[in-house]
Amino acid sequence: MRWIYFVLFSTLSFVAACSRGTRPPEAMPEQKDVETQVFVGLASYYGEEFNGNQTSSGETYDPARMTAAHRTLPFGTRVRVTNLENNRSVLVTITDRGPKKPDRIIDVSFNAATELMMLPPGVVKVRVEVVNEE
């Protein structure tokens, strides 16, 4: 007799889960547009000791340029990085892959870090927004 209750309960649970208003995959919004992406987390910066090194995109790192490293955004993507501790923001271009430390979401160039007033702590909480430059 217990197995009948088990089957009945399992069936009702399955029907309830299926009817919770979840949309089929074809009705889900697509995330193709990178300009809608926003990330919040920790940022660090490339020190001047990397000056002249080749980035993953093939460009030469210049600490005076407004560039950054991100793990997944395409090279050439422009993002606004906002220091959430002082609300200062800069526009940077993704030219490299990183950061290597798993708790960070972006590495910015030395010049960008200076503009964001990330120094001396070196690591700050930021919001990273992909910008549409049309």
What was the pLDDT predicted at 132? Answer: 74
Alpha-carbon 22 to chain mean position: 27
The pTM of this model reads 0.72
Q: pLDDT tens for residues 20-58?
A: 444 333 332 333 444 479 999 999 999 889 999 999 999
117: left (phi over 0), alpha (psi -120 to 50) or beta: left
Tokens 């193709």, residue located: 32
* 98 closest CA partner among 57, 48, 132, 65: 57
**27 lies in some domain:** no
Tokens 């160039």, residue located: 109
Q: How many structural domains are present in the chain? A: 1
**110 lies in some domain:** yes
Q: The domain containing residue 58 runs over which residues?
A: 35-130
Question: CATH number, domain at 54?
Answer: 2.40.40.10
95: left (phi over 0), alpha (psi -120 to 50) or beta: alpha
**17 lies in some domain:** no
* 9 closest CA partner among 84, 1, 37, 123: 1
**80 lies in some domain:** yes
Element (H, E) at 131: none
- pLDDT per residue, tens digit, the chain (134 aa), is 555 544 444 444 444 444 444 433 333 233 344 447 999 999 999 988 999 999 999 999 999 999 999 999 999 999 999 999 999 999 999 999 999 999 999 999 999 999 999 999 999 999 999 997 65
